[in-house]
Every structure is written in structure tokens, then in C-alpha cells.
Amino acid sequence: MALIVVDSDVVIDHLHSRPGQSSTLLEVAEENELGIASVTLFEVERGLSSATQRERFQRVLAAATFLPLDEPAARSAALIAYDLDRRGQKLDVADALIAGIALSVGAKLLTRNRKHFTRVSGLELV
């Protein structure tokens, strides 16, 4: 079973889906261990607009492994940002942090934001 870090966009899609509607998050969770980065927790929590969304997000969190922005993740994110900046390919700070967390734990990243994350060396996308 692989560890898959779930990007904020995928969690948000899941929270907005109608009951009974399949979501990518649920499909991936059937065969893999899900990880939620601390940055994703912040981004999603900040935008929750209803009790239903809050409840659904709590269920996602309960089923996932929480991945903090610890020292190895922060160093990895800094290297990612430095490398992309040097090549003139800016990456949003939150995206660099999420990628750094995923790389630091050897996980793949589940995202719809392929345009940004394909530029991160060594990061495998789902």
C-alpha cells in the first residue's frame, strides 16, 4: 500500500461532491494510505463554508495520516523553491511546501494541478 499525499484541490473537489457521487479521493483511498499535509489542512480549513463540509473534512482527516511541516519537509520545500526560482519557474509557496512534505516521506502526490507539480524533480504524481 503506497502513501499518497492528497493536494488541497482534490480534497475540495471531494467536499463539494454530492452524496453518492464518486470522487477521486475515495477511489485512491481504496488501495492506498492517504496523507494530508499540514498545509492542505490549513488551505481546506480556511475555506470551509458549511457544517456539512466541515463534517466531511473531519471524516477525511480521520482516515488519513497527518503529515506535518517538519525540518526534513521544510528543507525539501526550500530546495524545490530554490531550484525552480533559479530556472525562472516560480512555484506558489503552499505548493512548494506540499511537494516538500510529499518528497520528505517518499510519497506520491494526488493533484489536479499537474502544471505546477510536474516541474518538481523527483515528485511522482497520481
Q: What is the pLDDT of residue 23?
A: 79
Could you give the number of structural domains in the chain?
1
Distance CA 64, CA 3 (A): 10
CATH of the domain at 86: 3.40.50.1010
Q: Is residue 126 part of a domain?
A: no
pLDDT at 86 over 80: yes
Q: Is residue 20 part of a domain?
A: yes
- Using one digit for the tens of pLDDT, what is the confidence trace for 95-117? 999 999 999 999 999 999 999 99
Whether 66 maps to a domain, the answer reads yes
Note whether residue 122 is domain-resident. Answer: no
- From start to end of the chain, where are the E strands? 3-6, 33-37, 65-67, 108-110
Report the alpha-carbon distance of residue 55 to residue 52 in Å, rounded: 5
Q: Which of 5, 3, 19, 32 is nearest to 100 (CA)?
A: 5
pLDDT-derived band at 19, boundaries 50, 70, 90: low
Where in the sequence is the domain holding 14, given as residue range(s)? 3-117
State the pLDDT at residue 16: 86
Average pLDDT of span 67-72:
98
Whether the pTM exceeds 0.85: the reply is yes
